[in-house]
Amino acid sequence: MRCLLFFILNFLVSLQVSATDLYAVFTLSSDFEPLTKSKVIMLFRGKTKYLQGKKIELSDWPQNNNIRHEFYQELLGKDLAQMNAYWARLSFSGKARPPKEIDNGSVESLVEWLAVKRFRIGYAPIDLLPANANVLYIVKKEKP
Amino acid sequence: MSKMLLALLILIMSFSSFAEIELTDQLSISGFGSTSLTKSNNQTAVIMNRVITDEVCWDCDTTFGLQLDYFNDAFKVSTQLVKRPQDKWSAPELEWAYVGYNVGEVEFRAGRLRIPIFLASEYYYVSHAYNYARPPEELYNSILGLTAYNGASVVWNVELFNEYQLAIMPFIGFNDTSLVDAGDKLDVELDIDSMSGINFLLSGEYYRWNLSYFTADFSQTFQFTNAKPDVPYFELSFLNDSVELYSLGLEYEFDSLLLTAERQIGNLRSTWYASAAYRLNKFVPYIQYGENRAKITSVSTYDDKSGSSFVMGLRYDLLYNVSLNIEWQKFKSFGEQRGSFVETPNKPEADLYTLMFNFVF
């Protein structure tokens, strides 16, 4: 009975962990090491253009795609209007170029764009990641 | 012409977001704008270059900018053409036009550039990028109304402790002339002989620290038109003046609360402001207080600009890329100086009401 309870408890915990892993920040090159949360926040707020000494390019999902909305809400606690204002600030002061918006809401388009240059970084739901993804950071739901 | 901007606004609202329009992989165009309905209760105009009086004004704040960027690996060319509040639509200002080149984490820029002194100096005309309708008047109009310069800069990006980012930007400028609109009867022509400075911007996850030093040698000519019934025009020139200042700005985010404060100390003025904004879904109520204390200068007994203002407002995000501000601002001038008025007012206080639309694309 104790073994059964232990098994059920473990199963529930594993379910909870998988349910809270939402998105992966990833690249297709092996040039980068895993990132801290702080570094990922700095990247997606446009506060740094460099990663481990290399100038990087970021991608984004289309504006009306729920993936984009949820990613920024979970990683930064910001909505899309706030993110637009941030990137307006950076773009119109010449400090950074906004992330490249992929043509349509598909992982295939994202992977195609990432594959062109080694220092390109994107994000996607974990269950849609390509097999050759180098995962740099996992965005988890903080309040399950 | 405000109608033209409103038409543009409707067009912009049809775009889903701020996302530069990519003409090619390397060439993109983007833009921003603002227009307002504004009125004060004082006959004497407030805020130089915007010149708002007690008559309803549709185009005192009207701003429209277009930016063209070309990227080619380490090489970049960027131009920004802005119809500033004081400009006619037929005579916009080239606010920047520069070439940039990256070597590792160092970027070199040369051409016409934005002066990087305060937190929002480099996006001064992009109202959608900050919560209030206009940047704090006391601080942002304290450097002779200058926003751009001809010269060169270097930006050195340094990563600190794997968590912070420090950008160090020395800059140097050369001869330039600009005209400040100080109302119907007065324009001020500024001739900059030389300028230089250095800016440090430290960024963390949810904060920014901005530290700057700036100095410039300049001459200015006050051009009076119909100031007296029998004198259609006369001018007063003051040669070989200089401005020198230090500034420190802090911006902190605590979840939905944004706190910002900046302080500037210089040989002409001592100014500061503090503001708080709180986000409630699409609404951002905010307050702000700023003060300007003028010093004795060679131009006049006082530089004449001592005053304060208090702002209470509400921003609403209509769309991701369109926002609306409703704002009340109370101006006071100190000791019979002009404060934020364009000339010494008969009544030292003004209430300014503003409804402003902002957009980016």
State percent of chain B over pLDDT 70. Answer: 92
Residue of B nearest to A61 (CA): B19
Residue B219: CB partners within 8 Å, gap ≥ 6?
Answer: B190, B191, B193, B237, B238, B239, B240, B241
Q: pLDDT at residue B40 above 70?
A: yes
Q: Enumerate residues 302 to 361 of chain B having a beta carbon within 8 A of any beta carbon in chain A.
A: 317, 319-321, 323, 360
Q: pLDDT at residue A142 above 70?
A: no
Quick check: is A119 in a domain? yes
Q: Angle CA(B101)–CA(B104)–CA(B105) in degrees, nearest 5?
A: 90
Residues of B in contact with A87 (CB under 8 A): 18
Residue B12: the pLDDT is 61
Q: Enumerate residues 142 to 201 of chain B having a beta carbon within 8 A of any beta carbon in chain A.
A: 157, 159, 162-163, 165
Q: Enumerate residues 58 to 97 of chain B having a beta carbon within 8 A of any beta carbon in chain A.
A: 65, 67, 69, 71, 78, 80, 96
| Least confident range of A83-87, B67-71, B128-132, B343-347 | B343-347
d(CA B167, CA B106): 9
Q: Looking at the complex, does the CB of residue A91 fall below 8 Å from at least one CB of chain B?
A: yes
Mean pLDDT of the region B57-85: 93
Quick check: is A114 in a domain? yes
Residues of B in contact with A82 (CB under 8 A): 279
At B99-148, the pLDDT tens digits run 999 998 899 999 999 999 999 999 999 999 999 999 998 899 877 777 88
Residues of A in contact with B122 (CB under 8 A): 92-95
Q: Looking at the complex, does the CB of residue A80 fall below 8 Å from at least one CB of chain B?
A: yes
- How buried is B21 (Cβ within 10 angstroms: 0-12 exposed, 13-18 middle, 19+ buried)? exposed
At B321-351, the pLDDT tens digits run 999 999 999 999 998 888 889 888 889 999 9
Smallest Cβ–Cβ distance between A50 and the set B105, B130, B255 belongs to: B105
State percent of chain A over pLDDT 90. Answer: 41
Residues of A in contact with B105 (CB under 8 A): 50, 53, 55
Q: How far is CA B3 from the centre of its chain?
A: 24
Residue B261: the pLDDT is 98
| Interchain pair A92, B130: CB under 8 A | no
CATH of the domain at A125: 3.40.190.10
Quick check: is A11 in a domain? no
| Least confident range of B14-18, B67-71, B178-182, B205-209 | B14-18
Q: Looking at the complex, does the CB of residue B30 fall below 8 Å from at least one CB of chain A?
A: yes
Q: pLDDT at residue A52 above 60?
A: yes
Q: Mutation target for A interface from B15, B17, B71: give the one with most A CBs within 10 A.
A: B17
Quick check: is A89 in a domain? yes
At B249-273, the pLDDT tens digits run 999 999 899 999 999 998 888 999 9
d(CA B245, CA B140): 13
Let me know: does B102 contact B74? Beta carbons within 8 Å: yes
Quick check: is A6 in a domain? no
Domains of chain B are 2-360 (2.40.160.10)
Print the domain residue range for A34: 22-140
Quote the number of domains for chain A. Answer: 1
Q: pLDDT at residue A6 above 50?
A: no
DSSP 8-state code for residue A20: H
Quick check: is A17 in a domain? no
| Least confident range of A82-91, B206-215, B298-307 | B298-307
d(CA B221, CA B175): 16
Residues of A in contact with B78 (CB under 8 A): 94
Helices (H) and strands (E) in chain B, counts: 2, 18
On average, the pLDDT of chain A sits at: 83
d(CA A100, CA B340): 42
Mean pLDDT of the region A99-122: 89
| Interchain pair B360, A38: CB under 8 A | no
The Cα of B300 is separated from the nearest Cα of chain A by a number of Å equal to: 35
At B282-316, the pLDDT tens digits run 999 999 999 999 876 655 554 578 899 999 999 99
Quick check: is A123 in a domain? yes
CA-closest candidate to residue B354, choices B311, B305, B320, B309 = B311
Residue of A nearest to B74 (CA): A55
Residues of B in contact with A88 (CB under 8 A): 18, 32, 123, 126, 128-129, 360
Between A98 and B18, the more confident residue is: A98
- Name the pLDDT band for A14 (thresholds 50, 70, 90): very low
Q: pLDDT at residue B164 above 80?
A: yes
ipTM: 0.84
Quick check: is A93 in a domain? yes
Structure tokens at A66: 């729920």
d(CA A7, CA A5): 5
